[in-house]
Amino acid sequence: MKTDRRSLIAAGLALGAAARAGAQTPPPAAAKAPPPGLPQPVETIDLWPAGAPGLPKAPLTETVEERSTDALVTDRAVLGIARPRMAVFRPDRPNGAALLLAPGGGYHHVVVDKEGYEMARWLTARGFTAFVLFYRLPGEGWAAGPDVALADAQRSIRLIRQRARDFALDPERVGAMGFSAGGHVCADLAARFAAKTYTPVDAADRLSARPFCAAPIYPVVSMDPRYAHPGSRDLLLGPHPSGALEAAHSPDRNVPDDAPPHFLLHAEDDDVVPVENTLLLRAALKAKKIPVETHLFQNGGHGFGLRKAIGKPLAAWPELWRAWAQTAGFL
């Protein structure tokens, strides 16, 4: 068989990518075989080369729970994340923009499929490179406490920028999107990207952690008990936080003058995370004259992602985000 130089180079690049992927922690395991025809990630990026800092005293065991009873639908949740990492979804034709996805889970776990892999597939079909973040959970005893997920998000943005050439990315155009408690991770990152939440470990940490744009989707925002999601608040701050601690971890109270543009989305009938969370964040952004696009839908409940939006007016939300992203210069 004749082999030309181009083929050899391509093979070398493929082997290099495989070697990088093989050296990393695999994605969360599947409790059952995934549905046929849906791409599963094979490439991951560990966030901390020497292991995540501030290990809990009690060892963690990563556990994946399958919550779906439908053989054709997976709905996994992972907890005990001792090795935080990103699962990488590469498009066939990269458009140069990357999105860090922070799925929800009430800070009790991180969902895998609904707000992670499904959104990543939607994005890669449209040219975006997607990185699904499996972040550490603050209630599991990490030394960084309520800053632990933010530290993972900051480190993720920096690593994506450092490896931009590997993914055919513009290092400036790295955005963030998060859902529910992952929306808090996203909003916290957009507000406190410059906060020193960990000791630098390598050259990546000299890069900015500011996302180009942020999209907190039905997000947990306020830690004020009047508006907070009780479970997220308790796991993030503990049972009896001070007013100062509540303020420090409410993104609406920490918006800087140089916050990135925001896309906000919420259903007004959300009975898990009140819509006031999005309204408070919008008001804070407007007060700082930060560009913000807000979409409120009458119906949709909580946690709709893509799958639960089908057949409803809010099914238009991903394309609304993409149109906004283009006007914001992300595309």
Kindly report the CATH number assigned to the domain that includes residue 119.
Answer: 3.40.50.1820
Q: Is the residue at 58 inside a domain?
A: no
Range of the domain at 262: 74-327
In the chain, where do the E strands start and end? 43-46, 63-66, 76-79, 85-89, 98-102, 110-111, 129-134, 174-179, 214-217, 262-267, 292-297
Q: How confident is the model at residue 213 (pLDDT cuts 50, 70, 90)?
A: very high
* 228 occurs within a structural domain: yes
Asked, for residue 6, whether it belongs to a domain, the answer is: no
In a domain, 16, yes or no: no
Backbone angles phi, psi at 177, to 5 degrees: -140, 140
Domain for residue 255, yes or no?
yes
Judge whether residue 22 has pLDDT over 90. no
- Count structural domains, the chain: 1
Residue 204 vs residue 34, higher pLDDT: 204
In whole angstroms, give the CA distance from residue 90 to residue 41: 9
314-330: pLDDT as tens digits: 999 999 999 999 999 99
User: Would you say residue 43 lies in a domain?
Assistant: no
Q: What is the pLDDT of residue 20?
A: 46
- Write out pLDDT tens, residues 224-239: 999 999 999 999 999 9
Q: Does residue 14 fall inside a structural domain?
A: no
Task: Look at residue 225 in the predicted model and tell me its pLDDT.
Answer: 97
pLDDT at 21 over 60: no
Residue 41 domain flag: no
Distance of alpha carbon 235 from alpha carbon 239, whole angstroms = 8
Q: What is the dihedral of CA 306, 310, 313, 314, to 10 degrees?
A: -10
Q: How would residue 72 be classed by pLDDT, with cut points 50, 70 and 90? A: confident
